[in-house]
Amino acid sequence: MVVSTIYVTRHGFRGNWTLDPQTGTYATNTPSPTGIASHPALAAYGVLQAEQLATALLKINDPPITRVYSSPFYRCLQTLEPFVKRTGLEIRGDNGLGEWYGLARFTHPSPASPSLLHSLFPSYSLTYASSIIPSTNGESVADLHDRIAYALQYTILYADAEDQSSAEPDLLGSHTAILICTHAASMIAIGRALTGRMPEDVCEDDFKTFTCSISKFERRKLSVQDGEAVSVGLGIPKVDWKDGKGVLGGWHCVTNGDCSHLKGGEERGWHFQGDEAFNEDGGTSDRRNEPQGDDDDDEARHASKL
């Protein structure tokens, strides 16, 4: 089989945290299941969103979802839990698909260890190796996009090769789909890297990032690509994805942030505001689509000058 379709979703509403921009210390009023303040669980509303998301994903069968990849942060894994419990699929945590924290001078948060995540989510794979580990010293917007492009190439080639080696001869011409759960900034970068469309203004509101929304991408060339996606040296391996090329031949975006399966519809949209969109409370200045009474979703803090 060959990966012909990629579905991308963002985690549901999560618990909040605060950040001291002078020290880089994260804190939360709600204890995290992992003990990491920047690793919060979903808010109650986010749990409901995850259930609604699972119901929608279970209806996908043309082609079916056979692989699940995720940012290894708790909120993403919890968002996927209702779906993988009902399908028996494993979650392949990949740091390359993880959160973006901009260029803040302090050490950026890392997810919990695979062994701890596996103890909390039995479906979390202990054998899958991440494509790349983002720098804890910070990433520019350009770095994020290149990191995501490499992570996508790695996961797609990994899934293609795996399916080709395990499929029976009569299945070699069939297609399959993978699902990725990630964060707002990374979700935008995924759309750009797959389609090969990098806008002149990185702040352009192009790919939608509503919580638990579903975006769908279809492969332009339905063939297994040659190439290596395993070795990771210093820095970010370069992938030639810009100027409309897209990762591994490119992908068409056929659904952009669909929320028709969610009772609350489109919520918590987000877009880039540069490398320096940072407030002293650790939140971004973008507060669109926030219903009253819900936890702030101050995701993807960015700071290049603190």
Tell me the CATH number at 39. 3.40.50.1240
Asked, for residue 278, whether it belongs to a domain, the answer is no
- pLDDT at position 167 is 47
Asked, for residue 136, whether it belongs to a domain, the answer is yes
Q: Residue 199: phi, psi to the nearest 5?
A: -70, 155
Write down the pTM of the prediction: 0.85
Asked, for residue 290, whether it belongs to a domain, the answer is no
Asked, for residue 148, whether it belongs to a domain, the answer is yes
- Asked if 183 and 300 count as a contact pair (C-beta separation under 8 A), the reply is yes
Round to whole Å and give the CA distance between 96 and 103. 17
Asked, for residue 254, whether it belongs to a domain, the answer is yes
Q: What's the total number of domains in the chain?
A: 1
Q: Residue 155: phi, psi to the nearest 5?
A: -70, -40
- pLDDT at position 163 is 60
Asked, for residue 279, whether it belongs to a domain, the answer is no
- Asked if 143 and 103 count as a contact pair (C-beta separation under 8 A), the reply is no
Range of the domain at 148: 2-258
Asked, for residue 295, whether it belongs to a domain, the answer is no
pLDDT in tens, the chain (306 residues): 689 999 999 999 998 877 777 777 788 877 889 888 788 999 999 999 999 999 999 999 989 999 999 999 999 999 999 999 999 999 999 999 999 988 877 788 889 999 999 999 999 999 999 999 998 888 899 999 999 999 999 999 988 887 665 544 444 446 789 999 999 999 999 999 999 999 999 999 999 999 999 999 999 976 545 444 333 334 688 899 999 999 999 999 999 999 999 999 999 999 898 654 433 333 333 333 333 223 344 433 332 222
3-state secondary structure of 181: strand
Q: Is 268 exposed, middle or buried (0-12, 13-18, 19+ CB in 10 A)?
A: buried
